[in-house]
Structure 1
Amino acid sequence: MEKATKQAALNAHSWVGVFLGILLFLVCLSGTLAVFHKEFERWEQPGIEEMEQVDPATVEKAMAAFRARHPEATEHEFVVFPTSGIPRLVVENDDVAYFADSDGNLIEKERSPFTKMLVDLHLYLNLPHSWGMILVSALGAIICTLVVTGIIAHKRIKKDAFTLRRGGNRQQYKIDLHNRFGLWAAPFHLMIGVTGTYFGMAGLIILLMSQLYFDGNRQAAVETVFTPEPELTQPVATPNLQKAVAQLETLAPDQPPIFITVHDVNSPAQLIEIYTQVPGKMIYSENYRFDTQGNFLGNAGYKDGHWGKQLIYSMYRLHFGDFAGIPGKLLYFVLGVMLTVLCVSGIDIWLAKKAFPPVLTRLWHATVWGSISALGLTALAGMVSDVSLVACFWGLMILNLVFAVALRGLSKPVWLAIAGASVLVLLISYSVLHTSDSLTLAALQVNIPLLVFVIWSCRKALKARDYQSFAAIQAQNSTP
């Protein structure tokens, strides 16, 4: 029975992975890169003035300048603080955003099309958000299924925990690498799967809660998790942001502000809400509420709330590694690479068992390495034009697949070289377009890793080409 259970788990693991391999790969790859979405935002506009903190008067001045430039009514206004993870001051409404300097003067319109496309790819696979989120969340559940079935199907977990056999036709090495990554990082992969599933299923969870405990009242169910906004009736006036921000020094001296949201702008219900980091807690923020005049009304209570409420309010930071600064992001990046490699090696193992069908193999290599070139060229398109980057990325992906079918010579080494060349073109173009700004910290923190990838991909392409040549000679010599 144990043998039958392991075989059933292996079959489920294989077929689920094969049928959803491409989608899982794209979600994992984009998620691994999206860990650094704040760094990518800075990279797209490297010349913006950066600062560590800003005083309340500057916040007020910047928002006043923004309102003078965009007096049109929107439901919300926002101020993003330099302590948010991006050391820049941003003022915006629902439609447009501007950076401000340390004196509160507006400078450049915020523009990060590639970062937005990348995050949208991870969260929704660039599909309409209503059902794109459901699909991606379902893939999160699939990741959990693959982790569990993979562990069940593993025949010698203890014995092979540190086995990594090299040599031969490299097939055993790929299997060992797949099993080791799947085993070592299983807790992380389960956490990513569970938190990813939550984002799309939150609506369903609220619906079930409302039916089970609140007689179908969804708003009541929401308010048990997310503290409702106070209902205000007051004279319509310009919100006093300076007074509200100044009070944080007393209310939360050790909690750096993330951003301000002004709700229900220019209405009697207008509310100022300041989101702050809470050191030592995994929750996204504690929220402090003020009326239009800047008078303190109370906080949302996430910091000291029920453990269940704190857990739900921690999902974002758990999923994206938005804690512990750069070391935490680097850890998530490494573990994300392991999850992405699991997707790739799983399909590679399956293709090997099918004796590497030529067309399917070329299509898979075009998907894996062609996605890197597509992302690099899409980022370049975002720097030089206002073209839709979603259309650009998927157009390049389709073009890669067409070339893979039409041109038999496009093997893995060629795709590796194309990926490296595409990123190199991106780097050269970036340096030309941004001149001296390409040497700022905002630029170098992304450009240096991209240059490392170029070097790695070129070396990997040469090694893959040499291995293919060796394998071909071996096969020729073994032919009677």
Structure 2
Amino acid sequence: MPDTPDRSALLRGEDRSRSGPGAGSPPDQPGFVQRALAGHAALGLLIGGLLYLVCLSGALAVFQQDLQRWEEPGAPEMTAISPQAVQRAIETTLARQGKPTDHAYVHMPTAGLPRVVVTTDNGANYVEADGSYDRPEAHAWTEFVLFLHYYLNLPAFWGMVLTGTIGAMLCAATLTGVLAHPRIFRDAFRMRLRARAQLSRADMHNRFGVWLLPFILALGLTGAVIGLGQLVFQADASARHGGDLEAAYAPIYGAHPAADPRPAPAPRVDRALDWMGRHRPGLPISYVTIEETGTAGQQIQILAEEPQRLIYGETYLFDGAGHFRSTLGLSDGALGKQAAASLYRVHFGSFGGRPVELAYLVFGLALCVVISTGTTLWLMKRRARGLASPRLEALWAVTIWGSPLLLVLAFWLRMAAGPEAPLARVFWSALVAGSIAAALAPSPRLSDWLRQALAAMMALTGLVHWLLAGPLPVPSLVIDTALVLGGLVLALPELGRLARPRPTCERIANPT
């Protein structure tokens, strides 16, 4: 993040009033702006690397359903499935697995993911339109990216608390950044990309930060509430429910049914779906959940989307025989419950179709630029003051360019070694090893090398996937095209140098 202004430049008479943080406030008179600037830089250095990973994976997570289709192109797809076929899919899966399970889930075909997936505590598989078994679900790379965003691949509870803390710190860093730059709104459209490197990066950092301010605050606040809310529910569970976390969640997400372990036939999901078809015919159904599966206490939950609402849907509760009981009240209950049900769609951009998803992708990548340029500026200013940190610069290059390169390589590992490959372990081990190697032998060309490698791997991945994956739906073709074009964009500096004619003396010396 931006550091304090360069005093020597001010003494030399260079005009930094429009280019640097803290413009308009003399550095020799430390005050509110200077203290805010110091806080902004400290927060940026503390969370920069992890925040970059969370934002990069979050920009991809917006398209998690498209990525799942892209990763597993051969799974059967359908626009609808009958209640009888869903019943058959559940019964077939439970019989095939042959093991007791507490929960069972059915992902119904939706516009984003037109596939049916049955998941239990023992595994998940795709099914055909008639409910028959097709193949195991194995979108390991997509799941790895999601867990990187949700938990930074840590255990779920502590990982979510950490990412929630990062969300809160993102809001704090944004606010301190605005307070540290009195001219930031006045110069909101002043972009000097052709200026010297430090000035152009300062403009990108400050302008993107202003333009993205509503998005950053919405993203940071919802992420903080979702992540740090785990601590609130955990404390409530310990204080009031004897450590029972499900009881703490019950006022919002519903209570777990009372256990009755007596064996019972398979739940009649077909009857519950028939009821939905008769009484709620206009509502798209996205999920069916069964709790206490195969016992007398089993309960069926059907999640139906509310297309004109921000909530992720309303939950309809049925007993094991498929008889309607009640709704959870996410659509018409207490305002706090409705707000809680709206956080996820705001955070992941799943409330306005493709335009909103594309906006979240662009904004998410722009936020990565803000994070990258912030720390890069700090390192450049240290170098300008004679305090160069080549090791820190190398570590930051590995973070900015090495981590997305490792994400692409993780996809190829999944393709080569199968869905059981330890993607998270390999990713973090390679990132740590690369960081150590870069710190031990820093090179000023490291950033360029990693960017070129990323460009090549992105373009190669899109091209090879398109050639080998077989017939693809439109979203998967778009992903392949975006990878190729993205690789070309990253390679533009090198392509531009190759296109420029060499000086005359060089052509004479090297006539070939």
Task: Using the aligned pairs only, state the percent identity.
Answer: 33
Which of 357, 375, 390 aligns to 2:424? It is 390
Residue 336 in 1 paired to residue 364 in 2? yes
In the aligned structure 1, how far is the partner of 2:185 from the partner of 2:57? 32
- Helix, strand or coil at the partner of 2:118: strand
Cα gap change, 1:216/1:450 in structure 2, threshold over 3 Å: closer, same or farther? closer
Relative to structure 2, which stretch is displaced further, 453-462 or 345-354?
453-462
C-alpha distance in 1, partners of 2:245/2:422? 36
Deviations 1:441-467 (A, max 9, x none): 353132111111111111144458999
Paired residue for 1:15?
Answer: 42
Q: In structure 1, what is the equivalent of residue 393 of structure 2?
A: 361
Alignment of 1:284-363 (within 5 A): 284-355=312-383, 356-363=388-395
Please name the residue that 1:5 is paired with. 32
**How much does 1:208 deviate?**
6.0
2:267–2:320 Cα contact (<8 Å) kept: yes
Q: Higher mean Cα deviation, 422-431 or 264-273?
A: 422-431
Within 5 Å, give how 1:29-428 maps onto structure 2. Answer: 29-83=56-110, 85-206=112-233, 222-229=249-256, 231=258, 236-355=264-383, 356-385=388-417, 386-405=420-439, 406=441, 408=443, 410-428=445-463
- Residues 330 and 103 of structure 1, relative CA distance in 2, 3 Å threshold: same
Distance 2:218 2:239 in 1: 27
Q: What secondary structure does 1:83 align onto?
A: coil
CA contact (8 A) 2:79 2:111 kept: no
* Separation of aligned partners in 2, 1:464 and 1:321: 38
Given residue 311 of structure 2, which amino acid in structure 1 is its aligned partner?
I
Q: Determine helix, strand or coil for the equivalent of 2:110.
A: helix
The answer to whether the Cα contact below 8 Å between 2:107 and 2:116 also exists between their aligned partners in 1 is yes
Q: Shift of the alpha carbon at 1:157?
A: 3.2
The 3-state SS of whatever aligns with 2:300 is strand
Q: AA paired with 1:345?
A: T
Is 1:441 aligned to 2:474, yes or no?
Answer: yes
Shift of 1:424: 3.1
Distance 1:103 1:219 in 2: 35
Secondary structure of 1:78's aligned partner: strand
Query: CA–CA distance in 1 between the matches of 2:255 and 2:499?
Result: 63
Q: Does structure 2 retain, via aligned residues, the 8 Å contact 1:84–1:259?
A: no
TM-score by length of 2: 0.85
C-alpha contact (below 8 Å) 2:250/2:256 kept by paired residues: no
Kept in 2, the 8 Å contact 1:171–1:349? The answer is yes
Q: CA deviation at 1:431?
A: 4.4
- The answer to whether the Cα contact below 8 Å between 2:460 and 2:484 also exists between their aligned partners in 1 is no
- Report the Cα distance in structure 1 between the residues aligned to 2:294 and 2:459, rounded to whole angstroms: 49
What is the aligned partner in structure 1 of residue 507 from structure 2?
A: none
- Distance (whole Å) between structure 2 residues aligned to residue 232 and residue 221 of structure 1: 17
> Displacement, 1:95?
2.3
Specify the code of the residue in structure 2 equivalent to 1:423: M
In 1, the alpha carbon distance for the partners of 2:402 and 2:243 equals: 48
Rounded to whole Å, the distance in 2 between the matches of 1:158 and 1:442 is 37
- Structure 1 residue runs of 5 or longer lacking an equivalent are 471-480
Structure 2 distance, partners of 1:350, 1:464, is: 28
The one-letter code sitting in structure 2 at the alignment partner of 1:451 is V
Q: Distance in 2 between matches of 1:147 and 1:335?
A: 15
Q: Unpaired runs of 5+ in structure 2?
A: 1-24, 504-512
**Cα deviations by residue, 1:401-453 (Å, 9 ceiling, x for unpaired):** 2453436264322221110122234335434653x24x443531321111111
Separation of aligned partners in 1, 2:34 and 2:353: 42
Decide which of 481, 485, 490 is 1:452's aligned counterpart: 485
In 1: Cα distance, 2:94 partner to 2:238 partner: 43
Q: Give 1:186 deviation, angstroms.
A: 0.9
Distance change >3 Å, CA 162–CA 451, structure 1 → 2: same
Give the Cα separation in 1 of the matches to 2:237 and 2:75. Answer: 46
1:313 aligns to what SS in structure 2?
helix
Alignment: residue pair count: 467
More off after superposition, 305-314 vs 165-174: 165-174
CA distance in 1, matches of 2:402, 2:498: 17
Residue 309 of structure 2 aligns to a residue whose secondary structure is coil
Deviations 1:220-239 (A, max 9, x none): 65333333355486872221
SS in 1 for 2:122: coil
Say which SS state the counterpart of residue 281 (structure 1) adopts.
coil
CA distance in 1, matches of 2:433, 2:488: 25
Matched to 1:311, the amino acid is A
Q: Among 52, 55, 61, which residue is 1:28 paired with?
A: 55
The structure-2 alpha-carbon separation of the partners of 1:413 and 1:35, relative to structure 1 and needing over 3 Å to count, comes to same
Deviations 1:106-152 (A, max 9, x none): 11210011111111111111122232222111111110101110111
Render the CA deviation track for 1:302-361: whole Å, top value 9, x for unaligned. Answer: 111122110111111111111212111111111111211111010111011011533322
Amino acid at match of 2:254: T
Contact 2:246–2:256 under 8 Å retained in 1: no
Alpha-carbon distance between aligned partners in 1 of 2:282 and 2:105, rounded to the nearest angstrom: 22
Structure 1 residues 400 and 460, CA gap change in structure 2 (3 angstroms): farther
More helix by share: 1
Give the letter for the 1:381 counterpart. Answer: L
Change beyond 3 A, Cα 1:47–1:216: closer
- 8 Å CA contact 1:414, 1:461 repeated in 2: no
> Quick one: distance in 2 between partners of 1:181 and 1:284?
30
